[in-house]
């Protein structure tokens, strides 16, 4: 079962009772609660804390640290691997009263914290001190290299990818960035085989960046990036505003005597600050999205209600029209029955005067049949004039 808390709410819960008892209450495992606390930097009572309380001893509660850069203030516990994907129901959305998120600390404080957190970002010897994820790229490159030596049927877009000096230098810079980021607890990664789609998870926020030649062209078809690299031997690093193919938000490049290697410290700090900036932007956007969704839902409910009321008015009007039509039909049938009876009486009168040249037996048989037809038509005689209202009300087309 999935549960959502703010960091403050979960902090207060884990310090209110043992995690095992808390997990049972929410139908969760104590391991899941512990992992979420660790991920969201929420301290838990140390071993022996609850025993000391039971013995009446003094205890000290660890205060809740401030939210880290890019860290979500919302903590989701349970719900399975894809529990975060569960959509919100209309009922839940109507109950929500989303308040705009407030960020009391200016982004400049995050910049100062990033400077204090990362004092240096040296360039590790390469490839002897390659990050494990870059080492995998180099190992895959060696496989491609051996394949080219032994196999004459190798496509031009296949590896190796990192033999050229510019590619070796590019990997050296990426390695320095990833190493510095991981040293302070962030999660850098590489998404593709030629090391073009780079990102770092700053706590809970993903930031995409690239390190490539200044002449590198964006290729949305994801061809071999070397084919679209251009001729420049200068490198640049871009932090993207959104996904890997989005516009560059910040850019550093080889310029004059300032090589990109000398700007790695600024890049690493900027990636962390960007994680916080993106988190704030996403949180504000998500809040605005919820507000707009709720407004659209309220409008849709009002529109559905108005349409239902209109359909009901139309149904009642159609019902009344059907009743009126049935009434006029009954009146016409009654008049027709009366005309038949008058006709029968007139024929009988003329028979008695000797004006009708038929036998008495034939006349009697005709009168019986004609009277039966009049009674069948007459709604008063059959009583259908009363039941016609119920017949109209029960008709399928008049029931909602």
pLDDT, tens only, 297-310: 999 999 999 999 99
- pLDDT per residue as tens digits for the range 270-283: 999 999 999 999 99
pLDDT at 95: 86
pLDDT at 315: 93
pLDDT at 393: 56
pLDDT at 335: 96
**Biggest CA-to-CA distance, the chain:** 138
pLDDT at 243: 87
pLDDT at 82: 46
Higher pLDDT, 71 or 28: 71
183, 191, 353, 384 from 173: Cα distances, Å: 16, 17, 129, 95
Whether the pLDDT of residue 219 is over 70: the answer is no
Q: How far apart are CA 122 and CA 261, in angstroms?
A: 9
Whether the pLDDT of residue 318 is over 70: the answer is yes
Q: Output DSSP code: residue 5.
A: E
Calculate the average pLDDT of the chain: 89
Residues in Cβ contact with 323 at an 8 Å cutoff, skipping those fewer than 6 apart:
388, 389, 392
Number of C-beta neighbours around residue 230 at 10 A: 12
- pLDDT per residue as tens digits for the range 139-188: 999 988 888 887 777 666 666 889 899 999 999 999 999 999 999 999 99
User: Percent of the chain beyond pLDDT 90?
Assistant: 67
pLDDT at 237: 96
User: Percent of the chain beyond pLDDT 70?
Assistant: 90
Residues in Cβ contact with 320 at an 8 Å cutoff, skipping those fewer than 6 apart:
none
Whether the pLDDT of residue 296 is over 90: the answer is yes
Whether the pLDDT of residue 225 is over 90: the answer is no
């Amino acid at each position: 079962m999935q549960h959502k808390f703010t960091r403050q709410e979960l902090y207060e819960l884990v310090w209110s009772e043992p995690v095992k008892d808390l997990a049972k209450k929410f139908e969760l495992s104590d391991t899941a609660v512990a992992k979420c606390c660790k991920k969201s930097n929420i301290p838990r009572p140390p071993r022996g804390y609850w025993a000391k309380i039971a013995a009446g001893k003094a205890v000290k509660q660890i205060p809740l640290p401030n939210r880290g850069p890019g860290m979500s203030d919302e903590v989701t516990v349970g719900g399975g691997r894809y529990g975060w994907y569960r959509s919100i129901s209309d009922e839940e959305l109507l109950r929500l009263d989303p308040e705009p998120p407030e960020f009391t600390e200016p982004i400049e404080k995050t910049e100062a914290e990033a400077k204090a957190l990362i004092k240096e970002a040296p360039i590790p010897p390469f490839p002897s001190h390659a990050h494990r994820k870059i080492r995998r790229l180099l190992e895959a490159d060696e496989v491609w290299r051996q394949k080219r030596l032994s196999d004459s049927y190798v496509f031009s877009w296949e590896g190796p990818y990192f033999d050229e000096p510019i590619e070796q230098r590019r990997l050296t810079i990426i390695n320095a960035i990833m190493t510095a980021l991981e040293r302070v607890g962030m999660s850098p990664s590489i998404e593709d085989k030629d090391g073009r789609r780079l990102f770092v998870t700053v706590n809970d926020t993903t930031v995409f960046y690239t390190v490539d030649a200044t002449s590198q062209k964006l290729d949305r078809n994801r061809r071999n990036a070397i084919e679209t690299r251009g001729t420049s031997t200068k490198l640049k690093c871009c932090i993207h505003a959104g996904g890997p193919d989005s516009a560059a938000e910040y850019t550093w490049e080889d310029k004059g005597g300032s090589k990109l290697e000398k700007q790695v410290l600024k890049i690493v700090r900027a990636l962390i600050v960007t994680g916080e900036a993106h988190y704030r932007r996403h949180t504000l956007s998500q809040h605005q999205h919820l507000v707009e969704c709720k407004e659209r839902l309220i409008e849709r409910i009002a529109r559905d209600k108005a349409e239902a009321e209109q359909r009901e008015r139309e149904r009642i009007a159609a019902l009344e029209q059907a009743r009126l039509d049935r009434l006029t039909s009954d009146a016409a049938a009654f008049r027709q029955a009366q005309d038949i009876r008058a006709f029968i009486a007139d024929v009988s009168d003329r028979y008695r005067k000797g004006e009708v040249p038929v036998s008495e037996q034939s006349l009697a048989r005709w009168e019986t049949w004609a009277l039966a037809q009049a009674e069948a038509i007459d709604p008063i005689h059959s009583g259908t004039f009363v039941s016609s209202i119920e017949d109209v009300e029960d008709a399928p087309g008049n029931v909602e």
